[in-house]
């Protein structure tokens, strides 16, 4: 069991999952930008670098595969994993939640790719 999530109430946990689910199609769109950027020789965009990194790791990203994975993205409460790592790399990397402060709403961060997602109730 993940002890970090035991203090989170059910509504918060479900909202996190809902917020992350919305990110999967955005990560798919981003992957497509990356694929197109690379194909057009624009290798220095953020999205292109992500796709190039996946290729170097032996995980070539195609539009079709990224779309399939985006549709299959299914985070569950206590097992929230990074949408970008899933869509681009096909890897389940657990997200770390950073609780909200006065200055900033709650976010979920991925240590593997550096993505950060807003998961607050009013996000």
Q: How far is CA 50 from the centre of its chain?
A: 12
**Least distance (Å) between residue 100 CB and Zn ion:** 21
**Least distance (Å) between residue 80 CB and Zn ion:** 11
Contacts to Zn ion from residues 87-106, by CB under 5 A: 93
**Least distance (Å) between residue 107 CB and Zn ion:** 13
- Interaction mask 61-90, Zn ion, x per CB under 5 A: ---------------------x-xx-----
Residues in contact with Zn ion, counted by CB under 5 A, come to a total of 8
Q: Is 110 in the site for Zn ion (CB under 5 A)?
A: yes
Q: Which residues bind Zn ion (CB under 5 A)?
A: 82, 84-85, 93, 110, 112-113, 115
């Amino acid at each position: 069991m993940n002890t970090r999530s035991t203090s989170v109430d059910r509504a918060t946990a479900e909202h996190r999952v809902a917020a992350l689910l919305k990110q999967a199609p955005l990560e798919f769109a981003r992957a497509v930008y990356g694929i197109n950027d690379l194909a057009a020789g624009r290798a220095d965009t953020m999205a292109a670098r992500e796709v190039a990194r996946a290729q170097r790791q032996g995980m070539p990203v195609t539009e079709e595969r990224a779309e399939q994975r985006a549709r299959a993205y299914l985070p569950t409460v206590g097992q929230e994993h990074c949408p970008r790592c899933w869509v681009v790399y096909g890897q389940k990397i657990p997200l770390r939640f950073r609780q909200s402060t006065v200055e900033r709403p709650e976010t979920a961060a991925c240590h593997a790719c550096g993505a950060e997602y807003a998961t607050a109730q009013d996000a």
